[in-house]
Structure 1
Amino acid sequence: MQVLKFGGSSVATADNIKRVLALAHAAAQRTPTVVVVSALSGVTDALIDAGRRAAAADASYREHLQVLEQRHLDVVRSLLPITGQSAVLSLVKTYCNELESICDGVFALGELSARTLDRLVSYGELLSSRVVAAALAAQDTPHQWLDSRQLIRTDAHYGHAAVDFTTTNPQIQAAVSGADAALYVAPGFVAATHDGSTTTLGRGGSDYTAAIFAGALGAEQLEIWTDVSGMMTADPRLVRHARPIPRISYQEAMELSHFGAKVLYPPTIQPVMRQGIPLWIKNTFAPEDEGTLVEVAPPAHQATVRGLSSIGAVTLLRLEGGGMVGIPGFSRRLFAALAREQVNVILITQSSSEHSISVAVNKADAARAQQAADEEFGPEISAGRLDPLYREDDLAIVALVGEQMKDHPGISGRMFGALGTNGINIRAIAQGSSEKNISTVIRQQDVRKAINVLHETFFEATTRQVNMVLVGVGNVGRKLLDQLARQQTWLREKLRLNLRVVGLANSSRFVLDEEGLDLHNWKPALEAGQPMNLTELTAELLALNLRNTVFVDVTASADVAAGYAPLLARSVAVVACNKVAASSAYAEYARLKALAHDFNTQFLFETNVGAGLPVIGTLNDLLRSGDEVHHIEAVLSGTLNFVFNNYDGTRSFAEVVRQAQDEGYTEPDPRLDLTGVDVARKILILARESGRTLEMSDIHNDSFLPASCLEGDVAAFYEQLAVHEPHFRGLYDAAAANGQKLRFVASYADDKARVGLQSLAPGHDLYSLQGKDNAVLFYTNRYVEQPLVIKGAGAGADVTASGVFADILRAVQS
Structure 2
Amino acid sequence: MKVLKFGGTSVANAENISKVIVILVQESKKQNVAVVVSALGGVTDALIKTGELATEKDVSYITVFENIRERHLETIQSLMSKAQSNAVIKTVEAKLEELKNLLHGIYLINEFSDKTRDKVLSFGELLSSYIISKALKLKIEKSSLKDSRELIVTDNLHSQANVNTNETNIRISSFFKSNKDKVVVLPGFVSRSEEGETTTLGRGGSDYTAALIASSLKVSDLEIWTDVSGMFTANPKLVKQAFPIEEISYQEAMELSHFGAKVLYPPTVQPALQKNIPIYIKNTFQPEAKGTLISKKAASKNGPVRGISHVENIALVTLEGNGMVGVPGFSKRLFSTLSTAQINVVLITQASSEHSICVGVYSEDAKLAKRILDNEFAYEISLKKIKPLLVEDNLAIIAVVGDNMKNHQGISGRMFRSLGQNNVNVRAIAQGASERNISAVIAHKDIKKALVSLHNRFFEKQVKILNLFLVGVGNVGSILLDQILQQQEYLNENLLLNIKVVGVSNSKKMVFDEEGINLRHWKDLIKKGQPRTNQTFFNAVKEFNLSNSIFIDVTANEDVAKTYASYLKESISVIACNKIACSSTYKSYRELKDLSRKYGASFLFETNVGAGLPVIYTLNNLINSGDKITSIQAVLSGSLNFIFNNFNENNSFHGVVKQAQKEGYTEPDPRIDLSGVDVARKILILAREAGYRMDLKDIKNESFLPKGSLEAKTTDEFYKTLKANDSHFETIYAEANEKDCQLKYVAEFNEGKAAVGLKAVDKNHPFYNLEGKDNIVLFYSERYAQQPLIIKGAGAGAEVTASGLFADIITLGRN
- Shared fold per TM-score greater than 0.5: yes
Cα distance in 2 between the residues matched to 1:806 and 1:89: 71
* TM superposition score normalised by structure 1: 0.98
Tell me the SS of whatever aligns to 1:361: strand
Written as runs of structure 1 = structure 2, the 5 A alignment for 1:717-736 is: 717-736=718-737
Counterpart residue identity of residue 771, structure 1:
G
| Paired residues of 1:252 and 1:402 also in contact (CA < 8 A) | yes
Deviates more, 1:175-184 or 1:704-713: 175-184
Q: Deviations over 1:367-417 (max 9, x none)?
A: 221122111111111111111111111111111111222222222222222
Deviates more, 1:628-637 or 1:411-420: 411-420
Q: Deviations over 1:228-278 (max 9, x none)?
A: 100011111111221100001111111111010011111111111122111
Cα distance in 1 between the residues matched to 2:106 and 2:18: 36
- 1:760 equivalent in structure 2: 761
Counterpart residue identity of residue 171, structure 1:
R
Q: CA deviation at 1:94?
A: 1.2
Q: Deviations over 1:29-66 (max 9, x none)?
A: 32322110000111101111111111111112122212
Q: CA deviation at 1:462?
A: 5.4
* TM superposition score normalised by structure 2: 0.98
- 1:575 equivalent in structure 2: 575
- 1:19 equivalent in structure 2: 19
- 2:800 equivalent in structure 1: 799
Query: Is residue 2:744 matched to residue 1:743?
Result: yes
Q: Deviations over 1:314-338 (max 9, x none)?
A: 1111111111222222222211111
Q: Deviations over 1:728-775 (max 9, x none)?
A: 222222222221111111122212222111221111112211001001
Deviates more, 1:636-645 or 1:482-491: 482-491
Counterpart residue identity of residue 783, structure 1:
Y
Query: Is residue 2:68 matched to residue 1:56?
Result: no
Deviates more, 1:508-517 or 1:258-267: 508-517
Cα distance in 1 between the residues matched to 2:740 and 2:85: 108
Deviates more, 1:145-154 or 1:299-308: 299-308
Q: Deviations over 1:623-682 (max 9, x none)?
A: 222222221111110011111111112222111111111110111111111111111111
Q: CA deviation at 1:302?
A: 4.2
Query: Is residue 2:697 matched to residue 1:697?
Result: yes
- 1:229 equivalent in structure 2: 229
Consecutive unaligned residues in structure 2, runs of 5 or more: none
- 1:440 equivalent in structure 2: 440
- 2:472 equivalent in structure 1: 472
Distance 1:710 1:531, change over 3 A: farther
- 2:416 equivalent in structure 1: 416
Cα distance in 1 between the residues matched to 2:237 and 2:311: 14
| Paired residues of 2:230 and 2:282 also in contact (CA < 8 A) | yes
Q: Deviations over 1:122-172 (max 9, x none)?
A: 110001111121122222431232211121122222222222212222221
Q: Deviations over 1:465-504 (max 9, x none)?
A: 3221111111111111111121122122222333221211
Cα distance in 1 between the residues matched to 2:229 and 2:414: 28
| Paired residues of 1:421 and 1:601 also in contact (CA < 8 A) | no
| Paired residues of 1:136 and 1:142 also in contact (CA < 8 A) | no
Q: Deviations over 1:429-468 (max 9, x none)?
A: 1112211122111111221222122222222215433221
Counterpart residue identity of residue 380, structure 1:
E
Q: Deviations over 1:306-363 (max 9, x none)?
A: 1111111111111111112222222222111111111111111112322211111111
Query: Is residue 2:296 matched to residue 1:319?
Result: no
Deviates more, 1:112-121 or 1:437-446: 437-446
Written as runs of structure 1 = structure 2, the 5 A alignment for 1:10-159 is: 10-159=10-159
Query: Is residue 2:777 matched to residue 1:776?
Result: yes
- 1:542 equivalent in structure 2: 542
Cα distance in 1 between the residues matched to 2:584 and 2:676: 16
Counterpart residue identity of residue 679, structure 2:
V
Written as runs of structure 1 = structure 2, the 5 A alignment for 1:319-468 is: 319-461=319-461, 463-468=463-468
Q: How many residues align?
A: 814
Distance 1:300 1:487, change over 3 A: closer
Cα distance in 2 between the residues matched to 1:102 and 1:133: 25
- 1:283 equivalent in structure 2: 283
Cα distance in 1 between the residues matched to 2:190 and 2:433: 35
Consecutive unaligned residues in structure 1, runs of 5 or more: none
Deviates more, 1:544-553 or 1:493-502: 493-502
Runs ≥4 residues deviating over 4 A:
none
- 2:305 equivalent in structure 1: 305
Q: CA deviation at 1:82?
A: 3.5
| Paired residues of 1:81 and 1:138 also in contact (CA < 8 A) | no
Tell me the SS of whatever aligns to 1:592: helix
Cα distance in 1 between the residues matched to 2:540 and 2:441: 25
Q: CA deviation at 1:516?
A: 2.4
Tell me the SS of whatever aligns to 1:8: coil
Deviates more, 1:123-132 or 1:349-358: 349-358
| Paired residues of 2:25 and 2:140 also in contact (CA < 8 A) | no
| Paired residues of 1:25 and 1:141 also in contact (CA < 8 A) | no
Q: Tell me how large the CA RMSD over aligned residues is.
A: 1.4
Tell me the SS of whatever aligns to 1:747: strand
Cα distance in 2 between the residues matched to 1:41 and 1:426: 36
Counterpart residue identity of residue 269, structure 1:
V
Q: CA deviation at 1:616?
A: 0.8
Counterpart residue identity of residue 286, structure 2:
A
| Paired residues of 2:500 and 2:517 also in contact (CA < 8 A) | yes
Q: What percentage of residue pairs aligned between the two structures are identical?
A: 51
Tell me the SS of whatever aligns to 2:9: helix
- 1:216 equivalent in structure 2: 216
Tell me the SS of whatever aligns to 1:317: strand
Counterpart residue identity of residue 735, structure 1:
A
Counterpart residue identity of residue 369, structure 2:
A
Q: CA deviation at 1:210?
A: 0.7
| Paired residues of 2:247 and 2:300 also in contact (CA < 8 A) | no
Tell me the SS of whatever aligns to 1:199: strand
Cα distance in 1 between the residues matched to 2:508 and 2:14: 54
Deviates more, 1:154-163 or 1:259-268: 154-163
Q: CA deviation at 1:534?
A: 0.5
Tell me the SS of whatever aligns to 1:10: coil
Counterpart residue identity of residue 684, structure 1:
L
Cα distance in 2 between the residues matched to 1:81 and 1:295: 43
Counterpart residue identity of residue 454, structure 1:
L
Deviates more, 1:420-429 or 1:87-96: 420-429
Q: CA deviation at 1:526?
A: 1.3
Tell me the SS of whatever aligns to 2:467: strand
Q: CA deviation at 1:707?
A: 2.0
Deviates more, 1:39-48 or 1:497-506: 497-506
| Paired residues of 1:229 and 1:283 also in contact (CA < 8 A) | yes
Tell me the SS of whatever aligns to 2:282: strand
- 1:564 equivalent in structure 2: 564
Cα distance in 1 between the residues matched to 2:356 and 2:206: 40
Cα distance in 2 between the residues matched to 1:92 and 1:654: 93
Cα distance in 1 between the residues matched to 2:33 and 2:14: 22
| Paired residues of 2:316 and 2:391 also in contact (CA < 8 A) | yes
- 1:509 equivalent in structure 2: 509
| Paired residues of 1:161 and 1:202 also in contact (CA < 8 A) | yes
Q: CA deviation at 1:208?
A: 1.0
- 2:205 equivalent in structure 1: 205
| Paired residues of 1:211 and 1:268 also in contact (CA < 8 A) | yes
Cα distance in 1 between the residues matched to 2:771 and 2:543: 48
Query: Is residue 2:573 matched to residue 1:611?
Result: no
Cα distance in 1 between the residues matched to 2:587 and 2:141: 82
| Paired residues of 1:612 and 1:794 also in contact (CA < 8 A) | yes
Deviates more, 1:614-623 or 1:514-523: 514-523
Counterpart residue identity of residue 459, structure 2:
F
Tell me the SS of whatever aligns to 2:10: helix
